[in-house]
Structure 1
Amino acid sequence: MSSSEKSSEELKGADMALQVYLSGEIHTNWRDVIVRKAGEAGLDVAFHAPVTDHAASDDCGVTILGAESDKFWHDHKGAKLNAIRTRRLIEQSDVVVVCFGEKYRQWNAAFDAGYAAALGKSLVVLHGADHQHALKEIDAAALAVTETPEQIVEILRYVLTGELPISKRPA
């Protein structure tokens, strides 16, 4: 059967594996929830993320390139090495999810969202209602703004299969 002869059911999920980059805050388990629930749903998704070991991320530059006596240059080296990883993973992703947490200002997450938007990546933002005003420009660039990791999984399911959750379909 040629691709032009395939039924719409066969085409829904044909060759639709997604590369998803999970950017943003590293102090909660939101990534684990998304990865676990996507796996439970049988979704064909490969997830990628920044280095979430805070000390390793902060110290990668001086560990690899040598010590710095000035904290600015210590951080500068680490930021540049992390940027190599982050840029590569965002560029290779189909969907970029950026989570803004409650505890810290995530300037790096905002930068990742802007970079993804500039590349024309499908951007999905995750944050609580209390961040709506502060993140209005980022939300405006996103294709979806969510409040829970479960909503992210449902978006990925819909993108891959075209199916809505049965329990949430409008009457």
Structure 2
Amino acid sequence: MELTIYLAGEIHSDWRAKLKEQAESLPYKLQFTGPMENHSRSDDIGEEILGEQPNAIFKDDAASAFNNLRTQVLLQKSDLVIALFGEQYKQWNTAMDASAALTMNKPLILIRPEKLHHALKELSRKATVTVETPDQALKAVSYIFETE
């Protein structure tokens, strides 16, 4: 069995790379997808496809359309979603992706540090499971494959 896992969360740190590296040592196959991690490409994709926009608001709107298309397709194709809420960055996209996963009835592993417990309590209760670290999330995924 192979699982496709959508990694939702901020794109400014290397949490995805660390999780993927850790997953390589596991004895089963995991495929990872997620948002565009190249911030400039994510911001510029609307103009790359549609051409120059008249101002920053239109540029953001154009980019958002293509980023939302990417997210919707990849979320729908995923078997599981891991959404990381870190302490350093604003997490609006993470909340949106986690909510979309729930709407699509995708199993959701929510990663949130104890510090964010109160702020994320409702979303945490809707998630399939809530953990505090990416390592714990990967252990939850591993449990899916255990037979004894």
Under a length normalisation based on structure 2, what TM-score does the superposition of the two structures give?
Answer: 0.94
Alignment correspondent of 1:139: 124
Deviation at 1:53, TM superposition (A): 0.8
State the structure with more CA Rg.
Answer: 1
Deviation at 1:146, TM superposition (A): 1.3
Deviation at 1:21, TM superposition (A): 0.3
In the aligned structure 2, how far is the partner of 1:139 from the partner of 1:32?
24
Residue 134 of structure 1 aligns to a residue whose secondary structure is coil
Give the 4+ runs in structure 1 shifted more than 2 A. Answer: none
* 2:86 is the alignment partner of 1:101: yes
Residue 108 of structure 2 aligns to a residue whose secondary structure is strand
Alignment correspondent of 1:63: 48
The one of 22, 33, 36 aligned to 1:51: 36
Alignment correspondent of 1:126: 111
Of all paired residues, the percent bearing the same amino acid is 36
The one of 7, 11, 16 aligned to 1:31: 16
Deviation at 1:162, TM superposition (A): 4.2
Deviation at 1:154, TM superposition (A): 0.7
Could you tell me which runs of 5 or more consecutive residues in structure 1 were left unpaired when the two chains were aligned: 1-15, 164-171
Partner AA of 2:86 in structure 1: G
Residues 62 and 68 in structure 1, CA contact (< 8 A), matched pair in contact too:
yes
Alignment correspondent of 1:13: none
Residue 110 of structure 2 aligns to a residue whose secondary structure is strand
CA offsets 1:107-153 (integer angstroms, 9 cap, x no match):
11101111100111000111211111111121111111111111111
Alignment correspondent of 2:69: 84
In the aligned structure 2, how far is the partner of 1:126 from the partner of 1:162?
25
Residue 24 of structure 2 aligns to a residue whose secondary structure is helix
Partner AA of 1:66 in structure 2: G
CA offsets 1:27-56 (integer angstroms, 9 cap, x no match):
222111211111112231111111111111
Residues 34 and 152 in structure 1, CA contact (< 8 A), matched pair in contact too:
no
Under a length normalisation based on structure 1, what TM-score does the superposition of the two structures give?
Answer: 0.82
In the aligned structure 2, how far is the partner of 1:25 from the partner of 1:162?
34
